[in-house]
């Protein structure tokens, strides 16, 4: 996604400037070409050599430094940039950007570029809360700048409040989202269910499964990075939620059903990766079941509703099928029986495939009969292969199903 993207990283004078080095490193690892511009104040905290070593490119520090081949090329840098990222952005640099001051290479580049701008503020909480900063932030947002953070927490001064530089994954997620906002899913609302459900037996025990949420979150991030508005209905997971999407946390299959029905009313695509419990205890006991109470225990189960079968509407309906045998036959039967447009047959017997791993071995089957057998891939790659098919269905005149309204 960031492969060969030209990102100009502006680093200003905050103690968080050292985190800019990690940010630059992660951007480079994601395939971006990163040109760093440092303000004079930033160089009080970190040296240009740090960024040069990470990016393998000259670092701009001065308009007039004749030893730097980039010093007089700021306009060229501004023209070539796909995105300008200012991180960390101090209150001072935010004020200068808002006013259009251009007295250093960073502000000059910001004024000269037509590339989108992402700003990650870092300052003391009182400075961020000051109405002057709030006005500057609002002004920049109204001109299209996108803010990542700031986070809430303890600052270097000891103050607790808003002003911490957002964590690197959040800043990179914002960069990816901004770069992809005119992608092939722009203007579409994609709903993804992810993770397991938990069906309570008593206050401390549940029936659940091994789904981690990784596959669903990879799809959510990929859809976000292709321009979609994304809603994730997430069962109880231990992996971090994706940034830049709406999260609706649920526990039980019944809660997931309600959330899916509500979200599906206004969606273009529904993708159910969730491993929904097919059964739940008829009654959840109100107190912890004690083993002393009985020699054996029988729990009566009742069937949960089949969410994907029940939900109807004029959206593309995508399901997953985790299978241990008869992969294609079972998946094709679910595709037809549950009235899906497309199913991802998930071979969970293949090594490193399926539950709670970062890779997956899948076959994508369409209602038209088309079959795409994929090798073992990262879940991010699977997500993009799936979304390629979804995007094609969205544009094909026969792809969009006309179905009865959601119950």
The set of catalytic residues is 209
DSSP secondary structure letter of residue 167: P
Sign of CA dihedral 122, 127, 133, 134: positive
Q: Is 231 in the site for ligand PMT (CB under 6 A)?
A: no
Q: Which of 18, 355, 376, 394 is in the footprint of ligand PMT by CB under 6 A? A: 355
Q: How far is CA 376 from CA 230, 346, 362, in A?
A: 26, 11, 7
Task: Say how far apart CA 153 and CA 389 lie, in whole Å.
Answer: 42
Please give the Cα distance from 261 to 220 (Å, whole number): 18
Chosen residue from 319, 342, 364, 399 binding ligand PMT by CB under 6 A: 319
Strands 189-194 and 160-164: unpaired
Quote the least distance from Cβ 38 to ligand PMT, whole Å: 40
> Per-residue DSSP letters for 168-236?
HHHHHHHHHHHHTTTSTTTT-EEEEEESB--EEEETTEEE--S--SHHHHHHHHHHHTTT-EEEEEE-S
CA-based end-to-end distance of the chain: 38
User: CB atoms < 10 A from the CB of 295, how many?
Assistant: 6
Question: CB–CB of 70/34 below 8 Å?
Answer: no
Structure tokens at 126: 């009182």
Q: Does 354 bind ligand PMT (CB under 6 A)?
A: yes
Q: How far is the CB of 268 from ligand PMT (least distance, A)?
A: 17
- 80 lies in the binding site for ligand PMT (CB under 6 A): no
Size of the site for ligand PMT (CB under 6 A): 28
Q: Which stretch binds ligand PMT (CB under 6 A): 141-149, 150-158, 349-357, 399-407?
A: 349-357
With binding defined as CB under 6 A, does residue 12 bind ligand PMT?
no
Residue pair 127/120 in contact (Cβ under 8 Å)? The answer is no
Of 188 and 338, which CB lies nearer to ligand PMT in the complex structure? 338
Q: Is 334 in the site for ligand PMT (CB under 6 A)?
A: yes
Q: DSSP assignment, residue 404?
A: P
Among positions 269-288, residues that touch ligand PMT (CB under 6 A) are: 272-276, 278
- CB 169 to ligand PMT: min, Å: 18
**Quick check: 166 binds ligand PMT (CB under 6 A)?**
no
Of these, 23, 60, 250, 308, which contacts ligand PMT (CB under 6 A)? Answer: 308
Query: Is residue 317 within the footprint of ligand PMT (CB under 6 A)?
Result: no
* Among 28-36, 69-77, 82-90, 304-312, the segment contacting ligand PMT (CB under 6 A): 304-312
Please report how close the Cβ of residue 148 comes to ligand PMT at its closest, in angstroms.
26
Could you say whether residue 315 binds ligand PMT (CB under 6 A)? no
**Listed ranges 122-130, 168-176, 282-290, 301-309: which one lies at the site for ligand PMT (CB under 6 A):** 301-309
Quote the CA–CA distance of 344 and 361 in Å, as a whole number: 10
Which residues sit at the interface with ligand PMT, rule CB under 6 A?
Answer: 195, 211-215, 253, 272-276, 278, 304, 306-308, 319-322, 334, 338, 346, 348, 354-356
């Amino acid at each position: 996604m960031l492969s060969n993207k030209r990102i100009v990283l502006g680093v200003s004078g905050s103690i968080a400037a050292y985190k800019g080095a990690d940010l630059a490193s992660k951007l480079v690892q994601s395939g971006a070409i990163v040109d760093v511009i440092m303000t004079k104040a930033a160089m009080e905290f970190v040296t240009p050599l740090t960024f040069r070593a990470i990016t393998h490119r000259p670092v701009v520090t001065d308009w007039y430094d004749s030893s730097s081949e980039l010093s007089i090329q700021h306009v060229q840098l501004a023209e070539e940039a796909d995105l300008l990222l200012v991180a960390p952005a101090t209150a001072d640099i935010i004020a200068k950007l808002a006013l259009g001051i251009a007295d250093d290479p960073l502000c000059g580049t910001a004024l000269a570029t037509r590339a989108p701008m992402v700003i990650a503020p870092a300052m003391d909480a009182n400075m961020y809360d000051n109405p002057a900063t709030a006005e500057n932030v609002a002004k920049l947002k109204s001109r299209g700048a996108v803010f990542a953070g700031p986070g809430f927490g303890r600052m270097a001064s000891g103050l607790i409040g808003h002003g911490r530089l957002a964590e690197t994954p959040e800043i990179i997620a914002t960069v990816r989202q901004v770069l992809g906002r005119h992608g092939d899913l722009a203007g579409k609302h994609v709903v993804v269910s992810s993770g397991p459900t938990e069906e309570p037996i008593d206050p401390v025990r549940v029936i659940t499964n091994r789904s981690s949420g990784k596959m669903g979150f990879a799809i959510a991030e990929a859809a976000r990075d292709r321009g979609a508005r994304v809603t994730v209905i997430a069962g109880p997971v231990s992996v971090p939620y994706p940034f830049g999407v709406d999260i609706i946390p649920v526990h039980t299959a019944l809660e997931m059903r309600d959330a899916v029905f509500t979200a599906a009313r206004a969606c273009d695509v529904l993708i159910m990766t969730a491993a929904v419990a097919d059964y739940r205890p008829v009654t959840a006991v109100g107190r912890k079941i004690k083993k002393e109470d009985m020699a054996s225990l029988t729990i009566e189960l009742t069937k949960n509703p089949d969410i994907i079968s029940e939900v109807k509407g004029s959206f593309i309906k995508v399901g997953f099928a985790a299978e241990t045998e008869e992969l294609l036959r079972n998946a094709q039967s679910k595709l037809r029986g549950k009235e899906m447009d497309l199913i991802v047959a998930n071979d969970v017997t293949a090594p490193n495939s399926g539950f709670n791993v970062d890779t997956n071995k899948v076959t994508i089957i369409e209602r038209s009969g088309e079959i795409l057998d994929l090798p073992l891939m990262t879940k991010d790659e699977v997500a993009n292969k799936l979304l390629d098919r979804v995007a094609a269905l969205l544009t094909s005149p026969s792809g969009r199903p006309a179905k009865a309204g959601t119950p």
